[in-house]
Amino acid sequence: MKQTFLVKHAVGGRMFIDSTKQDVSYTIIPFGEGWRFTVSVPWSNNIEELLRLKEELNVFVFREFDDQPTLKTWYYVKDGPVEYDADQSCLTIVADSRIEYYPHEYSV
């Protein structure tokens, strides 16, 4: 299985993190009623802008399988905390809801 991790600006669609283009390690764990993402990523202007827009973020995880369709999960950050630990070079994002879907079910 191949997995892709994305963090995007919900309004403008700007991509902040794309694991297919950046070498980032990340974890996803259940956290209260939602999910917590931790991402190892160095500080940059891009991360600074992500933090500025932290209330307008979406996180996506795409799981591609050899023997079944790609499963996409769209996580909504809403009011979840988004923080950066400079000492650890670690971004933490908490999302409180998600939608899982198969894109082929929505094609026209």
Instruction: Give the mean pLDDT of the chain.
Output: 93
What confidence tens digit (pLDDT) does each residue in 53-104 have?
999 999 999 999 999 999 999 999 988 899 999 999 999 999 999 999 998 7
| Domain range annotation of the chain | 2-106
Kindly indicate the confidence band of residue 8, based on its pLDDT and cuts at 50, 70 and 90: very high
Give pTM, 2 decimals.
0.91
DSSP string, 59-87: EEEEEE-SSSPPEEEEEE-TT--EEEETT
